[in-house]
Chain A
Amino acid sequence: MNSLSKTSKQLIQLHVNGETHDAVVRSADTLLIALREQLGLTGAKRGCENGDCGACSVLINGKPSHSCLSLAVEVIDQPITTIEGLMDSPVSKAFVDNWAIQCGYCTPGFIVNCHSLITTHPDANDELIEEWLQSNICRCTGYEEIREAVHTLLASGQTENE
């Protein structure tokens, strides 16, 4: 046994949704695990922990990121936004209004990603929407209502938080 392989939990600070929170993590803990188990922010889901499904999506520095593919210790100096920090995003309402939600398990990931998409590219075309949203799997809806939600948002110009 060598000294490095012992469990060493450490206290870190995460900047999430505009607040700074303490979290006690192992270096090997992903951001997803830290958000869920240390901060109680369970909107980001464990869909695959492999970067394949997008259910764990959060924004790191405003960019959509699979929280299962970052270590918590790696992002201590970066602002993080989770679904819980997007309460007033017009995207949520558009998802509700366009029937883009069934079981809801993929929904937080989609909303986070869509939020970043429409704020970064308020004039996104179909190709760009597809490129971004292919990162998220929805097994219930068949994507049609999600497409309608995004189109409604872009058409309404309602792409900033009110």
Chain B
Amino acid sequence: MTNKVFTTVGKPEQRIDAVEKSTGKVRYVGDYSVPGLMHAKLVTSTQAHAKITSIDTTEAWKVPGVRAIVTGEVFPYHIGPILADRPPLAFEKVRYYGEPVAIIVADHEYQAKLATTKVKVEYDPLPIVNSVQQAFQADAPLVHENAGSYTKIISNVYPKTGTNIGSHIKIRKGNFEDEWENCEETITANYSFNLSDHVALETRSTRVEINPRGKVIVHSCSQSPFTIKKVLNQFFNVEVGNVLVHIPMIGGAFGGKGTVQLEPLAYLASKSVGGKLVKLEMDREEDMITSPCRVGLDATVQLGATKEGKLVAGKYTYLLDSGAYTDQAAGITRAAAIDCTGPYDIPNVWCDSYCVYTNHPFATSFRGYGHPELTFAVERTMDQLAKQLQIDPIQLRIINGIKPGHTTPTQTVLTANNIGDIEKCINRAKELIQWDEGQKMVSGKNKVRSKGISMFWKTSTTATNAEAGAILTFEADGSVNLNCAAIELGQGTKTILGQILAEKLGMGMDKIHVTMETNTQYDPHQWRTVASSSTFLAGRAVIAAADHAITQLKKTAATVLKCSPDDLDIGGGKVYLKPDPAFGVDIKEIALGYTYPSGHSIDGQVVGIGKHIQRHLTPMDEETGFGKPGPWWSVGVQAVEVEMDTRDFTYTILKGVTVLDGGTIINPKTAQQQMRGGMYMGLSYATSEKFIFDEHGVVQNTGLRNYPMLRYGEQPAQYLVDFIESPAADGPFGARGIGEYGVIGAPACLANSLSYALDVALNQLPLTPESIWEASRGSEE
């Protein structure tokens, strides 16, 4: 495969959704409206932890147009993707500020909203758990009185009754305790950062109706259409086949639209008005705090090494602030343990990764699934260790970089196929950031420029049975429809899958029609569009479907051309004889079956079916973590150069570098988009993003006005992106996943560069001028 010259794979084919998006004509889920559509709005909790003593809806009912008011006792059960610990509507008590308490359904949105202001909820306040450290104390108030009794939806989750621990994942590899004692050089460092938000520009939105036949029809901007079916089945007793989910193009997701929150609420709302079509759309403030956000983390990293810098032992304690419910934070807790060391070969590893309940908004997956956070902790420690050992930070990383033949923390053996080449990545990044010209220089009065670097890795932690399918139907003109349930979130997945198909069929992209909408009734099952898994899973399914179609095309063509299918090849819209490509039959002649001049017809429409399921993945052992959690590891390196004003601690990011080994790059331009966009997101997070809580656990910055993000012009003046393409043997055309990777190393390399600039350890995020000033004040005293 390696020597084959591809015609479409590896080429910057234009995104198939770009033109339509440039006209404003794409209809996202919230853009749909029809007379009779009803509107739901939420009453949300004003307390972070309290007993609900009464809900008085009398005044709310007086608002004209109000048709139903739904409260928690309508559905007093718990749901969740990993551990079923969250009531869709709070009952008995609320556990975070912003938690849904009631739903109002009305003819018009303003009526529903007005009515929400008239519902009187009485609370009896309970003590607040306002940080993971506090949650861990012996006498801490309990967010869940009986966490151990909740139903486990997947096996690797370990809640503990009587504590605020929602899960605890362990890694025990080698013999940390003994080896730590013998280490010539050791370092221990602590890191922490608050919860924050995805801020996809499209807020979450859904529409649900229940038709008279009992079909539940859901339109949503979800990354997980089949999970919506599963949830409505598992917890609401709707037959799986009776749930139809439609997903149009999505206005950004970043993991935040992977979990199922709004759809059950809209389902309850629709049910309350006799199954009528009800829309539930989050305002920005609700999208930020009522809907799930990004985890917070408190991490302690201990590294032990030889004098020469070879890592011997590593211990990692991760306390993930999952907020009030575990949701995907329980999975992130596991993922953080799986890759706890970063891309380093360490023989003795000990990791305790805890999913910790607090009275904060609950967290779910976020692009990178815990890896930007753990990478920050690991890479800051590596820089501090390098300083201690007086070794160049890049050298220290090269000495310890993980390679084929090494094992991961869960003791998966790495091979040239399942891991990229980290050393090539760092050498390339080193060139791009011009490391050898110096890591720090004075650039003006009170100005220094400095560089920081970070390595990273991540496996794709899908379910062990994650799968995807694809269906191809041929048109009369020989063009092909591609249907699959990979969802277009902006990442370009539909273009990538189209390219894979075009390559297989030897066709131009103009002959491939990829269905942009996902419809669970027509599209084959796909696990979810998360974990950078679509290129791999859906890409493999497309290849299988193409092979299936090719077999059919060749069979028909062989009959027509009076030869054996083995004599035939496909390309340029034809099936042709290998030895004589001029002799063949146009695909359009056989796409709907072949009709002889006599009128007799054979074979019928070419329909290609393909699927792919993860192979040989295993859950982790509860005591040691032993297991094979993912199919491959993509690896990479990021670096930044900043200019810091040493007087007032403001800074600008001059240059950002990302080098990734994601196997074969199917489309260099969309890949570049993902790397730049990812790095931006990581830098924005690292410079300015976090929720601020008051002493009552109330979020102080619930809207964009007080939640600063990097804006135009504040991005690096230069973003350099390059790829090392060590092909993955089992990936489509050698590709691995890349969607999340651009974000992972960005916070760490920024903190490394700023720490180096000031010679102050900056171990907290975000890195606002104020927090840097604080840290440097601390270090002076």
Contacts and interface: CB of A to CB of B under 8 A. Distances in A.
A107 B678 CA distance: 18
Interface string B1-36: 000000000000011011111111111101101000
B444 interface: no
B491 A47 contact: no
A101 B490 CA distance: 8
The residue among B64, B249, B253, B490 with the most chain A CB atoms within 10 A of its own CB is B490
Contacts of B489: 103
A146 B501 CA distance: 29
Nearest to A40: B33
A134 B713 contact: yes
Given A47-B203, A133-B711, 19 more contacts: A36-B31, A45-B201, A45-B251, A48-B704, A50-B284, A50-B705, A83-B23, A84-B23, A84-B25, A96-B22, A99-B673, A102-B492, A103-B251, A103-B489, A108-B24, A111-B24, A139-B709, A141-B676, A142-B676
Contact of A96 (B18, B27, B253, B680): B18
B703 interface: yes
A140 B670 CA distance: 12
Contacts of B20: 104
Nearest to A41: B24
Interface stretch (A59-67, A69-77, A87-95, A152-160): A87-95
B31 A42 contact: yes
Given A142-B681, A147-B712, A52 B676 contact: no
Contacts of A145: 673, 676
A138 interface: yes
A45 B200 CA distance: 13
Interface string B655-695: 00000000000000110110011111100000000000000
B252 interface: yes
A137 B284 CA distance: 13
Q: How many residues of A sit at the interface, in one of the four size bands? A: 35 or more
Chain B interface SS verdict (over half): loop
A103 B487 CA distance: 11
B65 to A, nearest CB: 9
Interface of B: 14-15, 17-28, 30-31, 33, 64, 110, 199-203, 249-254, 281, 283-284, 489-492, 669-670, 672-673, 676-681, 703-705, 709, 711-713, 715, 719
Contacts of B669: 99
B30 A46 contact: yes
B201 A53 contact: yes
A26 B109 CA distance: 12
Given A49-B283, A139-B200, A145-B673, A104 B64 contact: no
A48 B703 contact: yes
Contact of B201 (A7, A28, A55): A55
A129 B712 CA distance: 9
A53 to B, nearest CB: 6
B715 A84 contact: no
A120 to B, nearest CB: 17
A26 B64 CA distance: 15
Contacts of A142: 676-681, 715, 719
Given A139-B201, A142-B681, A52 B704 contact: yes
Closest 9 CB pairs of A and B: A43-B24, A103-B490, A142-B680, A105-B251, A104-B21, A83-B24, A130-B713, A42-B31, A102-B490
Contacts of A104: 17-18, 20-22, 26, 249, 251, 490
20 contacts: A36-B31, A47-B201, A48-B703, A52-B703, A87-B23, A96-B22, A103-B490, A104-B17, A104-B26, A104-B490, A105-B202, A129-B712, A137-B201, A140-B201, A140-B673, A142-B680, A142-B681, A142-B715, A142-B719, A147-B712
Nearest to B27: A42
A146 B19 CA distance: 15
Interface string A120-150: 0000001001100110111111111111000
A82 interface: yes
A106 interface: yes
Contact of B199 (A82, A101, A139): A139
Contacts of B17: 101, 104
B23 A7 contact: no
B677 A107 contact: no
Given A99-B673, A134-B713, A141-B673, A106 B201 contact: yes
A112 to B, nearest CB: 9
A38 to B, nearest CB: 10
Nearest to B21: A104
A37 interface: yes
Nearest to A107: B21
B713 A133 contact: yes
Given A50-B284, A96-B14, A103 B711 contact: no
Contacts of A99: 15, 18, 669-670, 672-673
A95 B713 contact: no
Contacts of B703: 48, 50, 52
Contacts of B30: 46
Contacts of A48: 284, 703-704
Contacts of A28: 110
Contacts of B709: 137, 139
Contacts of A50: 284, 703-705
